[in-house]
Structure 1
Amino acid sequence: MRSVAWRPLLVMIACGVCGYIFEVAAASSQAASARAYVSNEDGESVSVLDTQSATNIATIDVGKRPRGLKLSRDGSRLFVAVSGLPKCPPTVPDEECAKLERDLKADGIAIVDTSSHKVVKVLAAGSDPEQFAMSNDGKRLFVANEDTGTLSVVDVAAGKVIERIKVGLEPEGVALTPNGRWVLVTNESDNSVSVVDTTTLKVTKTVPVGKRPRDMAFTPDGNTAYVSGEMDASLYRMSVTGDAPVQRLLQLREEARPMAVILDPPRNRLYLSTGRGGTVAVVDMKGAPQEAKLIKEIPVGKRPWGMALSADGHYLYTANGPSNDVSVVDTKTLTEVKRIPVGKSPWGIVLGPAPP
């Protein structure tokens, strides 16, 4: 009889505990909420995604041809490269591209307040900014100016270019080593990578790699870079500061067009978006630097370009230009689990915390 009498109280306590656990879990989920920002090149906008619900929650107008983008460490500011140079596919001759009217006033790095979803300032960043890297302290940007073959160094606080560094022809990819000492630039038409000392702001060496290099990723110590070659479907390995010979580490199928590169050291993996190949190539790096093995190509949306990997390495996101969406890939099952509609011609993507 005594146990029966206590049952209602036990149920109430149990319900209270369950409610408490649910509230804690909900609070933890909310605290862990994050954002993905996607540049829509033809949509002149950035799509804001909630990565917890995998939904598109906002669209921000940022200016013409937004492509490269970076997020401040606290998630409060988004930096977006915008350009007034008309879009010109590789199939169009250079002389025809040169005839297209451009808007020089549209060039710059737009700074977005991620709480209000408003552009608060546009920094001067040289001609036709496309991709860029941010210094570890957030005070400088290193911006590729594709049409002038230069790398502009931008002082964020002053809002101006403080140095223009001559690199190779058609610079595109820009990446900073983990220690911030070196910035590397892929030169598409030169089939090379320029290595720039961020202290002296001088090119220390130029390294030949695959055809039409697009992007690169570093080992944690920053001594080695892996570079994608779009036109010969290659992955190259190069020494950042040493004299080790350049090595073609992997050859993909002819139809693949390697673009973005992400290295996931804890899992000994490397990911390549394959552009017109329509997949993400998953590469086993356990045998690196001597060898690398293709594990699988995961079908995603059309012409995936930019990619981003979640902090826990569980989800990979790809910006799929012609299909106007973002693919979410489960890296445990190596399958696409969802597509999120975004703006017109998504190009780049960056992940980070929700606005503070």
Structure 2
Amino acid sequence: MSRRLHWLSVGAMALGACSLSTVALAQNPYKIVDHWKIGGEGGWDYLKVDSAAHLLYITHGPAVEVVSTETGKVIHTITGLKGTHGVAFDANGKYGYISDGGANEVVVFDRHSFEKVAEIPAGTNPDGITYDPSTNTVWAFNGRSRNATVIDVASQKVIGTVALPGKPEFPQADGKGNVYDNIEDKNEVVRIDAKTLKVTAEWPLAGCDSPSGMAIDIEHHRLFSVCDGKKMAVVDTESGKVLATPAIGDGPDAASYDPTLELAFSSNGDGTLTVVDAKGDSYGVLQTLPTQHGARTMTYDPIAKRAYLVTAEFGPMPAAVPGQTGHRRPPVIPGSFTVIVVGRE
């Protein structure tokens, strides 16, 4: 795999008027620093890093693999699941929450023993999941029933269901009483009041189709939604206005944000990681790093300054079946599932 770096210095750099994030990346751009072979079979979805515990949680078919970010080794596998999508954490380091789309439930586990402690019914196919610290609740966004299940962390009980205007994708909470979510089939973002459990705004994402992954810059009131058509929509969370649509790679599914470097990231299925300058108003692309085909989901550790992406090797695309609809996918080669570690060292 080529590790050649593609990164762009804006014209202002030559004049000495570049942003701090541009300077930081120019001095130390991102690169692939390691590959961790996880193996196993089947598909995967989102990842979640626990920076303090040095652990990476990977949803992998009917299981969640817990990987040490210090050794790259699997230290535990949470099994007995059906079709995992995402992981969220509570605020005090005690519990984790898995959206098990195949079982239509959220599975609660102990973050020290990794044992399951509760199975909470959700809507149909819970997918994106997030924790809101302002209300101490977990939000599971149900792709097929088009609603969100809200769980009280203190009681581990469902306290409400929020109807949504379309198919939800990845959510984010600002910790100030608002939860945001991409609505994939309507090309928009919704804002939800975390206390009243009501949708308070629907914002169209002009020029951004099928938004999936989302990251948030809480301090500067920005959302970063990655979309088909090789675009990232930068949205003002106060006005709902799309401020910019920087170019990213093809087939994105996850976004992340580094609040100290003020960088936004998009992991793309075409085998690239896009790094966007989120300082100021230009939102220029600073770097396009080749990764590996299919590496379209990721998580980012803002403490270690590392991104973790996952993909595998694929077999030939199956032949089309007359009358069959939906996307065809090539088979995953067993044992090839891998974590790609991207850093600045």
TM range (shorter): 0.7 to 0.9
Q: Which runs of 5+ in 1 are unaligned?
A: 1-32, 34-50, 84-106
Quick one: distance in 1 between partners of 2:134 and 2:36?
A: 32
Take 1:278 and 1:269, find their aligned partners in 2: how far apart are those partners? 19
**Counterparts of 2:52 and 2:118 in 1: how far apart (Å)?**
27
**How many Å apart are 1:52 and its aligned residue?**
4.3
Compared with structure 1, are the counterparts of its residues 179 and 292 closer, same or farther at alpha carbon in structure 2 (3 Å cutoff)?
A: closer
TM-score relative to the length of structure 2: 0.74
In 1, Cα distance between the equivalents of 2:246 and 2:194?
30
Gaps of 5+ in 2: 1-23, 306-345
Alpha-carbon spacing, 1:113–1:273, altered in 2? closer, same or farther (3 Å): same
Q: Find 2:191's aligned residue among 229, 232, 237.
A: 237
CA distance in structure 2 between the aligned counterparts of 1:346 and 1:182, rounded to whole angstroms:
30
Distance, in Å, in 2 between the alignment partners of 1:255 and 1:179 is 30
Residue type matched to 1:192 in 2?
A: N
- Give the structure 2 partner of residue 304 of structure 1: 252
342-351 or 230-239, larger mean C-alpha shift: 342-351
Task: Give the residue type in structure 2 aligned to 1:344.
Answer: H
Map of 1:28-67 to 2, 5 A cutoff?
Answer: 52-62=28-38, 63-64=40-41, 65-67=43-45
- Counterpart residue identity of residue 284, structure 1: D
Alignment partner, residue 341 of structure 2: none
Output one character per residue of 1:156-196: Cα deviation in whole Å (capped at 9) or x when no partner: 33332221111111110110012571000111111111111
TM-score by length of 1: 0.72
Give the secondary-structure state (helix, strand or coil) at the position aligned to 1:246: strand
Q: Which has the larger radius of gyration?
A: 1
Task: Give 1:281's aligned residue.
Answer: 233
CA, structure 1 residues 81+138, in 2 after alignment: closer, same or farther (shift >3 Å)? Answer: farther
Code of the aligned partner of 1:335? G
Ranked by relative contact order (alpha carbons within 8 Å, sequence separation 6 or more), the top structure is 2
| TM superposition outliers: structure 1 runs of 4+ over 4 Å | none
1:216, CA displacement in angstroms? 1.5
Aligned 8 A contact 2:214 2:256 in 1: no
For 1:325, which of 263, 272, 288 is the aligned residue?
A: 272
Alpha-carbon spacing, 1:313–1:231, altered in 2? closer, same or farther (3 Å):
farther
Q: What is the match of residue 140 of structure 1?
A: 95
8 A Cα contact 1:182 1:197, kept in partner: yes
What do you get for the CA RMSD once the two structures are aligned? 2.4
Note closer, same or farther for the CA distance 1:166–1:75 as it changes in structure 2 (3 Å cut). closer
For 1:300, what is the secondary structure of its paired residue?
Answer: coil
Aligned pair 1:269/2:247, yes or no?
Answer: no
Structure with more helix by fraction:
1
**Percent of paired sites with the same residue:** 19
Tell me the CA shift for residue 75 of structure 1: 6.0
Aligned partners of 1:281, 1:184: CA distance in 2, in Å?
23
Distance 2:28 2:123 in 1: 41
In 1, the alpha carbon distance for the partners of 2:112 and 2:219 equals 35
Matched, 1:116 2:66: no
Q: In the alignment, what sits opposite 2:182?
A: 228
More displaced, 140-149 or 109-118? Answer: 109-118
1:298 partner SS = coil
Partner of 2:121: 166
Q: Which residue of 1 aligns with 2:314?
A: none
2:138 counterpart (167, 178, 183): 183
